[in-house]
Amino acid sequence: MEELRQLCKHASDVKISVGMLDSDTKDRVLTDAAAALIASEEAILKANEEDIERAKSNHMPDGLLDRLTLNHDRIAGMADGLRQVAALDDPIGEVLSMKKRPNGLIIGKRRVPLGVIGIIYEARPNVTADAFALCFKTGNCVILKGGSDAICSNIAIVDALKSALVKNHVTESALSLITSTDRSTTMEFMKMDEYVDLLIPRGGHGLIQNVVKNATIPVIETGTGNCHIYVDAEADLPMAVRIIKNAKTQRIGVCNACESIVVHKSVEKEFLPMLYEALSPKNVELRTDASALACLGNDHLLVKEATEEDWGTEYLDYILSVKTVENIDEAIEHINHYTTHHSEAIITNNYDRAQHFLDAIDSACVYVNASTRFSDGNEFGFGAEIGISTQKLHARGPMGLEALTSYKYIIYGNGQIRE
């Protein structure tokens, strides 16, 4: 506990100086860190093997084991990631606005780092390098708490990253790894609001909710996406099929995948069989309301009646819920009620209803005639992504580097006093 406090305090003590590093130095550190990862491949793979052996003896499921596993290509990928972040523009120091007031004061709004950022994540060692790159690029100190199953890998990766800090005479406290694998340490960490300015949980729903409920540090909530696509009475139906197929099946386990569709009753008879035909080769199960069920017939293996629970479920699987409605307002009400406020789309050629949907849907990303799968920092042109925020304060939707910054007002005077 005292050790954790000291670690957080050290980060807080150096945050001003780290925040003032020039872009060249930061980019050199990131490039050197990429080289250090490559040079340390042997040590990192050896440490990773230790983690994998322990995980196997603890019967870790295959999917998680795969995410824990490093190899030559994955280390090269981590190094590439560091170099890509180095190549981005530095957002720090940008003056967002500046104006002269009638009394001659010149007031500017300058982008600055947040300070100390804590990242709590699962046993995915690639996040270690990624989180460091994004936080350091934005002049923040970062404190990492990775999943304990990856502890040896994380220590080896952080050693390599720190060597780049040392080489460039930057304080090592710019990057800290919490090495205690005790659960109570994570709980204590979430309450270090005296030293840590922001906490970002990266991982599954359970991890995120644990952080949101227990942290006294401000949190940016990311991730959960119960995304809807509404097929309007005036939709281009073949386009609707293509978009829904893409949003549902192009990648299954991601937060911007479509989990539920809402269909106008005037097109359900024509549309639902078309959709079924497109999705059944992918074994997508449809969970529908009674009206849709009547259109499809319930003799299909892949069609079931939905329960109330289905409307609120993010399946992350080959399942899609299907709701039918009498009009767009019913669709909007349904979506706003069950959504996690991530991404929703309308498929329509009707101008008014497209605009109305954009206005009335209370989600981070609202689409007309496109797949929800585009909700992504890279697809939005941000160059990097920290996550996708489903909250409204500070940052909403895909978060680029700017989400890791704050601002301060700088004011140039020549003796002004207030009358």
Residue from 11, 18, 52, 115 binding a second copy (CB under 8 A):
115
Q: How far is the CB of 351 from a second copy (least distance, A)?
A: 11
Stretch 65-104: interaction string toward a second copy, x if CB under 8 A:
----------------------------------x-x---
| Residue type at 183 in one-letter notation | R
Q: How far is the CB of 251 from a second copy (least distance, A)?
A: 8
Residues in Cβ contact with 144 at an 8 Å cutoff, skipping those fewer than 6 apart: 118, 119, 121, 128, 131, 132, 154, 158, 175, 176, 177, 178
User: How is residue 332 written in tokens?
Assistant: 């909007």
Specify the DSSP class assigned to residue 222: B
Residue from 314, 370, 383, 402 binding a second copy (CB under 8 A):
370
Residue from 362, 383, 400, 401 binding a second copy (CB under 8 A):
362
Query: Quick check: 114 binds a second copy (CB under 8 A)?
Result: yes
For residues 130 and 377, give the distance between their C-alpha atoms in angstroms, rounded to a whole number. 14
- CB nearer to a second copy: pick between 179 and 369: 369
- CB nearer to a second copy: pick between 61 and 102: 102
Residue from 49, 265, 380, 383 binding a second copy (CB under 8 A):
380
Query: Quick check: 329 binds a second copy (CB under 8 A)?
Result: no
User: How is residue 321 written in tokens?
Assistant: 């819920």
| Residue type at 67 in one-letter notation | R
- CB nearer to a second copy: pick between 133 and 399: 399
For residues 61 and 149, give the distance between their C-alpha atoms in angstroms, rounded to a whole number. 12
Measure the CA angle with vertex 404, ends 187 and 108; round to 5°: 135
- CB nearer to a second copy: pick between 250 and 307: 250
Query: Quick check: 413 binds a second copy (CB under 8 A)?
Result: yes
Residue from 366, 386, 399, 401 binding a second copy (CB under 8 A):
366
Antiparallel, parallel or unpaired: β 95-100 and 106-113? antiparallel
Cβ atoms of 125 and 154 within 8 Å: the answer is yes
Q: Hey, how many other C-beta atoms are within 10 angstroms of the C-beta on 59?
A: 7
For residues 190 and 214, give the distance between their C-alpha atoms in angstroms, rounded to a whole number. 7
Residue from 77, 368, 383, 402 binding a second copy (CB under 8 A):
368
Interacting residues with a second copy between 141 and 170 (CB under 8 A)? none
- CB nearer to a second copy: pick between 265 and 356: 356
Handedness of CA 315, 316, 318, 321 (dihedral sign): positive
Q: How far is the CB of 241 from a second copy (least distance, A)?
A: 11
For residues 117 and 37, give the distance between their C-alpha atoms in angstroms, rounded to a whole number. 22
Binding region for a second copy (CB under 8 A) out of 48-56, 70-78, 280-288, 396-404: 396-404
- CB nearer to a second copy: pick between 233 and 368: 368
Closest CA to 335 of 325, 349, 347: 325
Q: Tell me, by CB under 8 A, how many residues bind a second copy.
A: 61
Q: Where are the beta strands (DSSP E) in 90-224?
A: 95-100, 106-113, 116-121, 141-145, 175-177, 198-202
Residue from 1, 3, 6, 16 binding a second copy (CB under 8 A):
16
Residue from 336, 350, 383, 402 binding a second copy (CB under 8 A):
336
Stretch 189-218: interaction string toward a second copy, x if CB under 8 A:
--------xx-------------------x
Q: How far is the CB of 50 from a second copy (least distance, A)?
A: 38
Binding region for a second copy (CB under 8 A) out of 35-43, 143-151, 159-167, 373-381: 373-381
Query: Quick check: 358 binds a second copy (CB under 8 A)?
Result: yes
Residues in Cβ contact with 143 at an 8 Å cutoff, skipping those fewer than 6 apart: 7, 8, 11, 116, 117, 118, 119, 176, 177, 178, 189, 196
For residues 364 and 366, give the distance between their C-alpha atoms in angstroms, rounded to a whole number. 7
Q: Which residues pair with 227 in a beta bridge?
A: 258
Residue from 250, 283, 298, 307 binding a second copy (CB under 8 A):
250
Query: Quick check: 385 binds a second copy (CB under 8 A)?
Result: no
CA distances from 225 to 93, 247, 256, 274, 385 (A): 33, 12, 6, 25, 16
Q: Which residues bind a second copy (CB under 8 A)?
A: 15-16, 19-20, 99, 101, 105, 107, 114-115, 197-198, 218, 236, 239, 242-243, 245-247, 250, 336, 358-360, 362-371, 373-375, 379-381, 391-394, 396-398, 406-418
